[in-house]
Structure 1
Amino acid sequence: MTKTLVHVFSALGDETRWSILQALGEGDASASALAARLPVSRQAIAKHIHVLQEVGLVRPARVGREIRYQVVGSQLSAAARQLEAIGTAWESRLAAIKDIAEDL
């Protein structure tokens, strides 16, 4: 697993950041809009967004005078592919163990 992917999973491990990512999955939003939606201050939202930006999960987009944040799908897809590969490997191992057990 790459260092970047480790940081992605670490960022996703925080409940507030996960909630922010879920909210942004429904559509772009400003930090103020996210703070109004979540039980967290705008300052805390800004800090969490910074972490999500650092690992490449969120990017800012200026819309007039407002900065709105959007999810970076490619980074989420990369994390999902890594998890899928691990899951597939474990399924293969479990199938092999089952075959050995049945042959006994």
Structure 2
Amino acid sequence: MAEQLPSGAGDVAKRHPEIWKAYADLGKACAEAGPLDKSSSRLVKLALAIGAGSEGAVHSHVRRALDESIAPEAIKQVALLSIPTLGFPQAVAALTWIEDITDPK
């Protein structure tokens, strides 16, 4: 799994596999703690990444969303939904990060 992660996270996973396993297990437990389906959970995680202003996490969740057959239009709507809460500049930034993956030039 570590070889599929961005370099920083992959390095930690390789050096500290016990920490990575605990982290992965926590993520799995959180995902299974409620009634949200996989697509809804992915879009929520994308929204949280947008709210945190984490370009890398947005890229990661967009890639995973596309792999899970979530439509690019639904992914982009998450950025648009952030306008009233996070503000227009943050939403536009998020949309550009999403389009880095959905609409590469």
Q: Indicate the TM-score class for this superposition, using the shorter chain for normalisation.
A: 0.3 to 0.5
Choose between structure 1 and 2: higher strand proportion: 1
Higher relative contact order (CA 8 A, sep 6+): 1
Normalized per residue, the structure richer in helix is 2
Q: TM-score, normalised by structure 1?
A: 0.32
TM-score (norm 2): 0.32
Greater Rg by CA: 1
